[in-house]
Amino acid sequence: MAAANDAESEVFEITDFTNASEWERFVSRLEEVLTEWKLSGGSSRRLAPEKGEYTSGTWLEKSQDIKFADFKFYVTHYCLKQDKDDGGGNLEEDSLPSAMQDLLCMNNDFPPRAHCLVRWYGIREFVVITPGPNCEAIISESKCNLLLSSISICLTNTGCQVPVFVQIQQKQRRMYAGECQGPGGRTDFEMVHLRKVPTQYYHLSGLIDIFKSKIGCTHFPLPPVDITIRFTYILQDWQQYSWPQQPPDFDALLGGEVGGVEFGKLPFGACEEPISELHLATTWPHLTEGIVVDNDVYSDLDPLQAPHWSVRVRTAENPQCLLGEFLMEFFKLCCRVESSEDVLGRGLADDEGKESGDLSSALSKLTEPAAAVPITKLSVSSMVHSARKHIRRHRRINESPLSRDVLSSVLMYLFPDAAAEKSSRNVEDSAALSETTDKNSDNMFLHLKSAPGGSLTYRLALCVCVVNYNYGGLRAVAHLWQEFVLELRSRWENNCVISGLAAGPPDLRCCLLHQKLQMLNCCIERKRARDETHKVPTGNKVREQKMYGVCQSPGPGSESVAALVSVGETSEGKPWESWSDSEDEFFECLSDQGEMEAPQEGSRTKAEGRLHPYNGMTLLNSEEPLYIPVTQEPAPMTEDLLEEQSEVLAKLGSSAEGSHLRARMQSACLLSDMESFKAANPGCVLEDFVRWYSPRDYVEEVVVDEKGNTVVRGELSGRMKIPGNVWEEAWETARVVPARRQKRLFDDTKEAEKVLHYLAVQKPADVARHLLPCMFHAAVMKLEEEESVEGIPSVRRNIQQASAAASKLLHPSSLDYKKTEDFINQLVEMETVITRARSLKSKFSISDEEKGESTEELEKFVSSLLEESEVVISEAGHSRIGAIVHGLFVNAHKAPILASMEEDLGNDRKLTGGSKASDFPPPTGREILLRTCLPRPAPYSTVLPQRLFCVLMKEEFRLAGAFSTDTAFF
């Protein structure tokens, strides 16, 4: 019974060997990947690679992940994009795979820009298996052999002739092992990597010995070994050469920092050497064993006698560039959220609460129907002076972010007319200055929506950028902005036109801040013209035109201004000079002495506000001439006011009442012009007004009357005859009032206070965002200026592309911070390229004073160094460029020797009488490539390629071998 229980308790474990193991699944998955990439079977016939194609050609790359149990691998396929050989048909059965043929190709021995396996083995297509990012490296020999066995099985099953590698050891060691199979042959890729170079393998003779011993064929004489040698020399010491960056002027007010400049100029250049290393590669190609001697006793390898020289530069990563630093700090300012009150201190605002309240409510008090207190206490000037006095009393000089000297320099740069007598400047002078500035400035600001070069807004952006970087950052910018707004208010109060702004209404093509400053200038000009008009006792037509503006005839065939309904603003504000309790507001009446609008015979009312007759026309109902009236100019508006007005008009809806109200709001300017026209032309009708204001809406035709005479008759257009249209209603409601007696369409006092209040409440970050287009404009102009000196085609193309990108970036209302930062990085990259070119030119002794064929050759060489990965020097060391490069290394090599000579004068004898080879320092790296073809492993085996690539450096010794074996006859 017990025996039966023991039998039942036995457990039989049955292993099903028909199930695939993890290793078999891994091999199967690898085969699927190769088949999916169409790498199975014989490879197509391909052209032999041309010289330099590995560097200039396009490398294709695709990757896929596979798993060995829980271990993740990445399988990556690298391939040089190349046309197939169209001369060919199918490959012969016994032809070698492309990879084996590439082992012997000499057209691309040392590609400067390629995968390390391409440089070591010269292959143009291969597959690499690497461990996943979070997986441990393949260190053990058993794991490495398992993967190599998997690769061998996979290549055999699929017939793939593309070499497959697996990465082993730590990733930074760049060690690979692989295999390539072809018809009747196999190539094994092996590698050795050591920290130190063994003494016996430091020269060519020892490397040839190890290559022959690895081949292992001692039964027959070996064919000659083909040898290619490259020595690389690296120059890192630039102490013997001047730094191209201009030193600062320590005696100047704004000096003391590297690259420091005065206000109004952006700095440019690198604060450190942008070229970190210069690499010279001397190459001896296609040597044969026995021709060259290189051992521990003697060497024929003189770099000056090398037939091929090539140079490449290694640049410093992210060097500190002044223009980029200024722009990045300015951009960081745009991201701040503090207000000026937070930055400069809340105590100041708390102590001046009353005065601040008066300032903020000044507009409402000035526009009240009646003044409850004396006018002197409501004066904006008195409140501003009181606030300025309190600000200066509470802020000590030593506590101010900006010193008095710096602040004075900034304000003098922003307002250069402050040194002269402000009363001597007039509107014409400002207009002439602005016109000259616009002519000299570039039209780039139209694309960037910034401001004209040299304008006040443009100069303000430069000052804010310099102050932000050099004089205290956020606090200094807040201080400068506060003083700037106070200066604008002072100019408004004293009727002093702001210099550096174009005359006329705000230019909607510019940034909003520039429009605001132009609006303030318009207010100053209107107020100034009105004050001058009131000072003249007699009627002066010139000043009346300046005061109210003149609406000239649109001319025949031109688009009607009123037909588009000019946008005007009906202001309820009062004139600055008149404070009345009456709700009706008028301009003061002036004397009519000497005016053309004297009462005419037969006219029922007195004509007022005439300018001159209009093209000899007469009124339709009388023989009186038709006069052009003196009219008010339309109210200038900035883009934010236009948006607000559009929103208000849109909210009125599409109902009949809303449409009627919208039309009346838009016809304020039309109504004013009608009233002026009635005052200048008594007895006129609507047709007379349309003939002058909108000639296209008055249709004339030649007809024959009852008496048979040919006469010209006219009538209003169809849209003017529509009952209840805006023109008819406006004409019926229009009074006979000249422009000087009408309510102002543009209340300059109210608009000026609105602008000043808008500017005063701006945070430093808001100011920076307003000025950002101007900063980009200035930066691009600076890059164009510097590039024109250096002449770098790639930078010139990038500047054009950057300008187009900036125009799209800056036009949206909301700033995209990520794209803005990327754009600044593009500008920094262009600045870096220019500084690199300048540094190389100084090292190669290229000056603008000496021009000639040799100089042009050097400039072309420097330009190629910046754009290409490696530049070949024609005639090697015997050319002028080769002599300059040789001199660079000789000077760097002799500098430490000369320093030691000062300590020991006896070293003179040791330094004299050396060979030319001693002029060069020892090579930093040696690369030796050995190739041959021989039957292996038996003398009767197929002749197959053998290759060994050797790298000898101070802390690295690498042997990368590709050894082929005949698998059919062995």
For residue 592, what pLDDT is reported? 36
Q: Given phi > 0 = left and psi -120 to 50 = alpha, else beta, which region is 316?
A: beta
For residue 127, what pLDDT is reported? 96
Please report, rounded to a whole number, the percentage of residues in the chain having pLDDT higher than 90.
26
Instruction: State how far Cα 489 lies from the chain centre.
Output: 36
For residue 848, what pLDDT is reported? 57
Instruction: State how far Cα 900 lies from the chain centre.
Output: 49
Instruction: State how far Cα 30 lies from the chain centre.
Output: 45
Can you say whether the dihedral through the CA atoms of 358, 364, 366, 370 is positive or negative? Answer: negative
Q: Say yes or no to pLDDT of 60 above 90.
A: yes
Rg (CA), the chain: 43
For residue 925, what pLDDT is reported? 93
Please report, rounded to a whole number, the percentage of residues in the chain having pLDDT higher than 70.
73
Which has more pLDDT, 604 or 292? 292
Which tokens in the block code for residue 442? 């570039």
Q: How far apart are CA 182 and CA 618, in angstroms?
A: 104
pTM of the model: 0.72
Phi, psi of 511 (to 5 degrees): -70, 165
Say which range, 226-240, 411-425, 571-585, 790-804, has the weakest mean pLDDT: 571-585
Q: Which of 268, 149, 214 is nearest to 959 (CA)?
A: 214
For residue 262, what pLDDT is reported? 67
Which has more pLDDT, 936 or 387? 936
Q: How far apart are CA 500 and CA 482, in angstroms?
A: 19
Are 316 and 272 in contact by the 8 Å Cβ rule? The answer is yes
For residue 244, what pLDDT is reported? 58
Mean pLDDT, the chain, as a whole number?
77
Q: What is the pLDDT of residues 805-839, one digit of tens each?
A: 887 787 666 778 888 888 999 999 999 999 988 88
Any idea which residue has 């047709």 for tokens? 687
Mean pLDDT of 139-158: 93
For residue 810, what pLDDT is reported? 74
Q: Say yes or no to pLDDT of 146 above 90.
A: yes
Say which range, 162-171, 263-272, 440-449, has the weakest mean pLDDT: 440-449
Which has more pLDDT, 371 or 737? 737
Q: Say yes or no to pLDDT of 93 above 70.
A: no
For residue 386, what pLDDT is reported? 54
Q: Say yes or no to pLDDT of 296 above 70.
A: yes
Q: How far apart are CA 333 and CA 336, in angstroms?
A: 5
Q: How far apart are CA 304 and CA 282, in angstroms?
A: 8
For residue 928, what pLDDT is reported? 95
Q: Which of 121, 124, 125, 126 is nearest to 110 (CA)?
A: 121
Q: Which of 515, 641, 639, 531 is nearest to 588 (CA)?
A: 531
Q: What is the pLDDT of residues 432-441, one digit of tens each?
A: 444 444 443 4
Sequence-ordered list of residues with C-beta below 8 angstroms from that of 149, at least 6 positions apart, any chain:
none
Burial (0-12, 13-18, 19+ Cβ within 10 Å), 175? buried
For residue 952, what pLDDT is reported? 95
Q: Which helix (H) or strand (E) holds 506?
A: none
Say which range, 273-282, 714-723, 919-928, has the weakest mean pLDDT: 714-723
Mean pLDDT of 440-469: 82
- Per-residue pLDDT band for 462 (boundaries 50, 70, 90) equals very high
Which tokens in the block code for residue 21? 């193991």
For residue 539, what pLDDT is reported? 45
End-to-end CA distance of the chain: 66
Q: Say yes or no to pLDDT of 919 above 90.
A: no
Mean pLDDT of 672-686: 89
Say which range, 30-39, 217-226, 629-638, 863-872, has the weakest mean pLDDT: 217-226
Name 80's bridge partners: 59
For residue 152, what pLDDT is reported? 94
Q: What is the pLDDT of residues 331-389, one digit of tens each?
A: 999 888 888 888 887 544 444 344 444 444 444 444 444 444 443 344 444 554 555 55
C-alpha separations of 902 from 891, 896, 906, 907, 913 in Å:
17, 10, 10, 9, 19
Among 56-65, 90-99, 347-356, the range of highest mean pLDDT: 56-65
Please work out, in degrees rounded to the nearest 5, the angle formed at the alpha carbon of residue 876 by the alpha carbons of 875 and 877: 115
Q: What is the pLDDT of residues 476-506, one digit of tens each?
A: 999 999 999 999 999 998 889 888 888 888 8
Q: Say yes or no to pLDDT of 168 above 90.
A: yes
Q: Say yes or no to pLDDT of 165 above 70.
A: yes
Q: Which helix (H) or strand (E) holds 658?
A: helix 656-666
Q: Which of 770, 714, 743, 740 is nearest to 484 (CA)?
A: 770
The residue count of the chain comes to 970
Q: Say yes or no to pLDDT of 85 above 80.
A: no
Q: How far apart are CA 814 and CA 800, in angstroms?
A: 24
Q: Say yes or no to pLDDT of 602 above 70.
A: no
Which tokens in the block code for residue 771? 């000025």
For residue 488, what pLDDT is reported? 92
Mean pLDDT of 886-900: 68
- Per-residue pLDDT band for 66 (boundaries 50, 70, 90) equals very high
- Per-residue pLDDT band for 284 (boundaries 50, 70, 90) equals very high
Mean pLDDT of 101-115: 90
Q: Say yes or no to pLDDT of 551 above 70.
A: no
Instruction: State how far Cα 429 lies from the chain centre.
Output: 37
Name 873's bridge partners: 309
For residue 666, what pLDDT is reported? 67
Which tokens in the block code for residue 424? 């001597």
Q: How far apart are CA 25 and CA 650, in angstroms?
A: 69
